[in-house]
Amino acid sequence: MALEHDTRGDHYIVEASGCDPKVIGDIEKVQNILVKAAEKAKSQVWAVSFHRFPPNGVSGVVVISESHISVHTWPEVGYAALDIYTCGADTEPEAAVYYIIQEFKAQNVHISELTRGIDEGDRIYYHSIITWEEEPVKREKSKRG
């Protein structure tokens, strides 16, 4: 007999390299991308807070009813660190991940997906982790050709 598992959420930790500095250094663009990503994930936006760090980094969080989407960018090296956490069976956090990395024009991406709050009925929670690499530019070209 297989055990039935209950989970509390999906958490994506994303390292995006080779991003377009003009995109990830622009606070308005980054904010708009993350808000749109929340919509792509079928989440309800509750609050938005972003800050520009001199000379050109951006940090921000979009608080959603299902948790959060956050970012910190280093345009001078083309790097963005993303954190996307959602709970609820109706959200699509992976859609947010792929939308953001496409809009940031990331060349290489390292993704860790954590399934959070796994419970086998004893209320002792744990998580599982799956990690993989993406090359969004090559993936887009292969879809077209």
Question: Does 2 score more than 50 pLDDT?
Answer: no
In percent, how much of the chain has pLDDT > 70? Answer: 89
Q: Identify the residue with better confidence: 89 or 1.
A: 89
Catalytic residue, candidates 11, 19, 67, 70:
67
What's this model's pTM, rounded to 2 decimal places? Answer: 0.86
Which of 87, 112, 127, 128 is flagged as catalytic?
Answer: 87
Q: Is 59 a catalytic residue?
A: no
For the cut 80, the answer to whether the pLDDT of residue 136 exceeds it is no
Domains for the chain: give ranges and CATH numbers.
Answer: 9-110 (3.60.90.10)
Whether the per-residue pLDDT at 113 is higher than 90: the answer is yes
pLDDT value at residue 3: 43
- Say whether 112 is catalytic: no
Terminal Cα-to-Cα distance of the chain (whole angstroms): 46
